[in-house]
Amino acid sequence: MTVLSSNDDDRTRYYSVIGEKNLTPLWEVLHSLVPAHPRPSIVPAIWNYSALRNIILRSGSLISASEAERRVLILENPGVRGHSRITQSLYAGFQLILPGEVAPAHRHSQSALRLVLDGEGAYTAVNGERTTMKRGDFIITPAMTWHDHGNTGDEPVVWLDGLDIPLVQSLDAGFAEKATVQTQIEERAEGEALRRYGKNMVPLDFFQSSSDPTPVFVYPYSQTRTALLELDGSAIDPWHGHAFRFVNPSTGASPMPTIGAFVRRLRSGFEARPYRSTDSAVFVCLEGEGTALIGEQKFSFSRGDVLVVPSWSVHQFRASSDAILFSFSDRPVQRVLGLWREEKLS
């Protein structure tokens, strides 16, 4: 054939012919399928906890924890409303549990983390061991571990959930089941996991592979905070301040294979250098205040606030008082797949 080009009508007719055969032309979508750099649909955003606290507490009079199974308000990224996600790969929610309530035991292939934001007296049980939830505690429920929550105290407790729901959804690999009991039977005393695995040592015969989740399912904020404060006076990373990543102590890998977690302390007046990486991240301010410049947008954050930094967006934190920021992302997934990139700017 000698036809080198056709007019729009020819193409439209042709597209409808092939469309009926479940075919579509690559040349119309090539550049959005394979962009020169990430073009996230999610956008920078902030949820201001002090403005939301009363609204979250009001959900307590609408539905019980056991009726809801989990009484959670999902943080939906404004760029992708209706998709139950805070980033392309991660879900986040504010979960409320009132005194006397239980959230019944279940398990699923999605991995979850909790970051305790407000109130005292709740617990989470993971595979038969409870941990009392204190503000700032970072707790994990790895894939297919049984978990339930309860509040035996006298005040409402709120935490942030982070799950890899969209990631698992994109792989169509999700399973879930309910336990036959509401509350798991305690199989080990509280603190057992930390005593066995949380002292820079693991039991002599204990070995794991790099994709196994950590047997330490709680990273108490008292330890995290002390570790950060003890870095005072030592070298400060110009991009991250004093920063740690949380690890599985027996492998050095992330606590769970699909979600990485990090914490940083930014001293009052510290201005981080601009930075970007391919893992969209969720930041939570645990202490202090400051501003985040994300792309062209500036956000002021303080205690309890949740911020989203989209993939490959240049961002820069400034602390106006000593600040501690927790964050989580899909970085470990991107790293094992050879996809992760970062850029440190000056």
* Residues that bind ligand 1HN in the complex, under the rule CB under 6 A: 70, 72, 93, 95, 103, 108, 112, 147, 149, 161, 163, 165
CB of 88 to ligand 1HN, least distance (A): 17
C-alpha distances (whole Å) from 178 to each of 34, 47, 73 are 41, 31, 21
Residue 86 · residue 160 · CB < 8 Å: no
Q: Which is nearer to ligand 1HN, 113 or 294 (CB)?
A: 113
CB of 55 to ligand 1HN, least distance (A): 18
Q: How far is CA 212 from the centre of its chain?
A: 18
CA-CA distance, 89 to 170, in Å (whole number)?
9
CA-CA distance, 125 to 185, in Å (whole number)?
9
Q: Which is nearer to ligand 1HN, 108 or 315 (CB)?
A: 108
CB of 187 to ligand 1HN, least distance (A): 18
CB of 149 to ligand 1HN, least distance (A): 6
Q: Which is nearer to ligand 1HN, 103 or 167 (CB)?
A: 103
Q: Which is nearer to ligand 1HN, 65 or 281 (CB)?
A: 65
CB of 175 to ligand 1HN, least distance (A): 12
* DSSP structure class, residue 214: P
CA-CA distance, 303 to 312, in Å (whole number)?
25
Q: Which is nearer to ligand 1HN, 132 or 208 (CB)?
A: 132
Closest CA to 77 of 345, 315, 306: 306
Q: Which is nearer to ligand 1HN, 85 or 264 (CB)?
A: 85
Closest CA to 84 of 141, 164, 198: 164
Residue 89's region, left for phi above 0, alpha for psi from -120 to 50, else beta, is: alpha
* DSSP structure class, residue 239: T
CA-CA distance, 329 to 278, in Å (whole number)?
10
Q: Is 112 helix (H, G, I), strand (E, B) or coil?
A: strand
CB of 97 to ligand 1HN, least distance (A): 9
What strand order describes the sheet that includes 218-219? 72-74, 91-97, 157-163, 112-118, 138-141, 218-219
CA-CA distance, 248 to 250, in Å (whole number)?
6
Q: Which is nearer to ligand 1HN, 165 or 266 (CB)?
A: 165
CB of 66 to ligand 1HN, least distance (A): 13
